[in-house]
A and B are shown apart, each in its own frame.
Chain A
Amino acid sequence: MPGIYRRILKWLDERFGAGAVEEFLRHKTVPIHRHSIWYYFGGMTLFLFVVQALTGILLLLYYRPTPNDAFESIQYIVTQVPYGWLIRSVHSWSANLLILTVFIHMFSVYFLKAYRKPRELTWITGMFLLFIMLGFGFSGYLLPWNTLAFFATKVGTEMAATVPLIGPWLLKFLRGGEEVTGATLTRFFGFHVAVLPGLTTLLLAMHLLLVQRLGMSVPPGVERAIEEGRQPARSMPFFPNFLLRDMIGWYAALGVLGALAAIFPWELGTKADAFASAPAGIRPEWYFLFAFQTLKILPAKILFLEGELAGLMGFTLAGIVWVLVPFLDYKAGFGRVTRFFTGLGIFALGYMVVMSALALR
């Protein structure tokens, strides 16, 4: 490494004692096998989250979170501020890409059973991070205060009221009142720039710490093949080999984001008017479509339960099962592939895809 970097690192090491970290990173390796490609998606998710944080901070310099000013401040950013159009469109597109990659990351970890012992906590912190990303998406969507956002939020938060016992309280908590108003905007803004980032920092720190401590998981099939001598155990150093490859991916993502921002800029829409009627065909963003569609097709009553409540309970149950999968599929800890869980995963993925497609029709 060039001399100047060496000198700076040595200076920092004398104060932080970061030499140990550097040593550790030098020794970190990444296994090479036919499923290695999925290893990139965790880093990609992290990269896109960093992009969100940076563009978000830039947007914060001009955004005003009140009903009178929110829409106009974004209009200002997009039309008057130099490269404001770029920052804003990147932020909106990257949000969608982030959620896509986080789902890919989650499903790849699921199917490769990387959640098995000793990585249960990595999985749990990861699932909560996924929920938080969805929360980022939902809260951020309202901030431009345009018609689509306003009514999507109205419909989305309406669901909260169906929760038994605490439903009405939960609704008021989310909306900052009975209806979606400026109070909702303030609240969602607070969630989006303070609460959720704070929670993310905590969970992400745990998640990354665990990944570093426990190393990269190798899929059971590959593990067995290595044990049985059918396959050599190959790996590459994380630094610089894997990192350089990671960077290729990150640069490619930046290129895609730039192209999307320049060729398909994110719409401004029309300013929200609380007294106007909801536009026809209102629906949430694509990552909520499967839930939206499910609730649409459920009958008004299932046994003794209201249809919507049954749907909500179904999703909650599914979420709980999903978070607890490392414990339910404990046999994976012994390297055994239980077909049931693979099947469940295929069903879940298929269900989400099919429902989303139906909602788009």
Chain B
Amino acid sequence: MRFVAAIIASLLVAASLSAAPTPESTCITCHSMLDGKLADPVKKFESAVHRQVGLSCADCHGGNPADESMDSMSPAKGFRGVPRKTQVPEFCARCHSDIAYMHRFDPKMRADQLSQYLTSVHGKRLKQGDTKVAVCVDCHGVHNILPASDTRSPVYPVNIASTCARCHASEEHMRSYNIPTDQVSSYEKSVHAEILAQGDTAAPTCATCHGNHGATPPGVSSVANVCGTCHVFFEQLFNKSPHQPAFAAMGLPGCVQCHSNHEIVKPSDDWVGVGQDSVCATCHSQGDKGYTGAQKIAGDLANLKTRLARAEEILNTAERSGMEVSSAKVELGSAHEALVKARVNVHAFDDAEVQKLTDEGAQVSEKAYQAGVAALNERDVRRKGLGVSLIAIVLAISGLYLKIRQIESRPKT
């Protein structure tokens, strides 16, 4: 058997040598002729980034790529074979933690993936012998590894959630760990997933908040920091608000308490206040300061929204009547802005902070409303002018009519 393989191999090598200038490694030439699992790596390796930079099987697996005999795979020649799951991180890190080596290929590439990984839950459990956790190849693929910036890669931002879901959404897989498996399905409902699906890769996915190599869920006290990396104002306001010490004391997870961790949906104004859908009422009850504060805040927001709607309505009516109101509409834009900012200031959990913005917005809305009233008055002036000209016309018509009668009643001479 070995003999036959050797003959065929040498024939092929001769053929490929005469056909192509660069000799493919013998691993590839041989394995491409085999079936099933043994040929699979060759097919997968076609598109791999490792292949594109000029690496080949032996660079990871060792052995002698120039040797067509089975001897190329002898441990004596440095062949490392297929690593066991627990050995995979170190297997990859042989190159990927070697800064000098990595920077030959990509000077800005990081080389700390292994050290990060060892701090993660995945890494720690692997060290304890748990082979169900993720290792490098579970997320990055094996022979068909693509750079993370390639849209086909399982670690391209848009694909990350489904990659994590391979384990984390499987009840069977996660049973022994006692953690929920609904994270990905919740995330899919979130506004973050929606934006990401539209192609904005700045939107957060699993790795953004949890880390990629050093994947650790944020400790309860640090959640607000994570959200705050993007949602800066909200974090600042929250930290100065009475909720921060209160939540810390009760061990509540900051932002997540009201906004959820994975199923982060677009908030509605109904969340504020004491109504049916409000989040305030989950803790605050009638009589406590928070309850009245929430009521006030909700009231201020609702008040501004009503005034805005009123102003918009009258301006639209005036516009439809043919009146010029474009500058009033532009001014009204700053009332909209005040509403946007007021919603941000809700996170100070201090009704004074919200009120100063809603008051400003209400003032602007009032001005715009008055402009609308003035426009409608102008419209009525026009109609009065019309009335005047109609009177003149009626006068003329009656004059005409009487003249006709007069002319035609004259006896014909």
A75, B393: Cα distance in complex, Å: 29
State whether A85 and B382 are in contact (beta carbons under 8 Å apart), knowing that A251-B393, A259-B390, A265-B321 are contacts in the complex.
Answer: yes
One digit per residue, 1 when the CB lies within 8 angstroms of any chain B CB and 0 when it does not, for chain A 68-86 equals 0000000100111000011
- Residues in A lying within 8 Å of B, measured CB to CB: 75, 78-80, 85-86, 89, 236, 240-241, 244-245, 247-248, 251-252, 254-255, 258-259, 261-263, 265-268
**Please, how many angstroms separate the alpha-carbon atoms of A78 and B318 in the complex?**
13
**Cβ-neighbour of A262 out of B324, B382, B394, B397 (below 8 A):** B382
Residue B383 CB within 8 A of the other chain: yes
Q: When A244-B403, A247-B400 are in contact, do A258 and B386 touch as well, CB less than 8 Å? A: yes
- Give Cα A254 to B389, complex, Å: 10
Which of B326, B393, B397, B404 has a CB less than 8 Å from the CB of A241? Answer: B404
- B321 contacts A80, C-beta separation under 8 Å: no
Residues in chain A near residue B180, CB distance under 8 A: none
What's the least CB distance linking B340 to chain A, in Å?
25
Given contacts A78-B324, A265-B321, A265-B322, A244 and B400 within 8 Å (CB-CB): yes
**B398 → chain A, closest Cβ, in Å?**
9
Among B321, B383, B401, B404: residue with most chain A CB under 10 A: B404
- A80, B324: Cβ atoms closer than 8 Å: yes
A residues in contact with B385, CB < 8 Å: 262
Residues of chain B within 8 A (CB-CB) of A265 are 321-322
B408 at the binding interface (Cβ < 8 Å): yes
Are A244 and B404 closer than 8 Å at their CB atoms? yes
The answer to the question of B220 belonging to the interface, with a C-beta cut-off of 8 Å to chain A, is no
Which of A89, A236, A255, A263 touches B393 (beta carbons < 8 Å)?
A: A255
| B393 cross-chain contacts in A, Cβ below 8 A | 251-252, 254-255, 258
Contact A248 B400 (CB under 8 A): yes
Closest chain A residue, CB of each to CB of B383: A262
Q: Which of B321, B393, B394, B408 has the most CB of A within 10 A?
A: B393
0/1 string, B382-413, CB within 8 A of A gives 1: 11011001100110110011011001100000
Check A259 against B382 for contact (C-beta < 8 Å). Answer: no
**A248 & B322 in contact (Cβ 8 Å cutoff):** no
Tell me how far the C-beta of A249 lies from the nearest C-beta in chain B, rounded to whole angstroms.
9
User: A85, A241, A262, A268 — which one has the most chain B CB atoms within 10 A of its CB?
Assistant: A262
CB nearest to A261 among chain B residues: B386
Closest to A76 in B: B324
Cα A309 to Cα B407 with chains together (Å): 58
User: Which residues does chain B contribute within 8 Å of A266, judged by CB atoms?
Assistant: 322
Q: Name the interface residues of B149-197: CB closer than 8 Å to any CB of A.
A: none
* List of A residues within 8 angstroms of B324 by Cβ: 75, 78-80
Give chain B nearest CB distance to A207 CB in angstroms. Answer: 26
CA distance A78 to B323 in the complex (A): 8
Q: In the complex the two chains form, what is the Cα distance from A86 to B322 in whole Å?
A: 10
B386 touches A89 (CB 8 A): no
User: In the complex, how many angstroms separate the beta carbon of B233 from the nearest chain A beta carbon?
Assistant: 35
State in angstroms the CA–CA spacing of A265 and B385 once bound together: 14
Chain A residues with Cβ under 8 A from B401's Cβ? 248
What B residues does A240 contact at CB under 8 A?
403, 407
Q: Smallest Cβ distance from A183 to chain B, in angstroms? A: 29
CA distance A2 to B321 in the complex (A): 46
Query: Contact: A245 with B390, CB < 8 Å?
Result: no
A79: chain B residues within 8 A (beta carbon): 323-324, 326
- The 3 A-B pairs at the shortest CB distance, nearest first, are namely A79-B324, A265-B322, A262-B386
Which B residue sits closest to A268, measured CB to CB?
B322
Give Cα A326 to B188, complex, Å: 75
Cβ contact within 8 Å between B322 and A252:
no
* Residue in B320, B326, B397, B408 whose CB lies within 8 Å of A252: B397
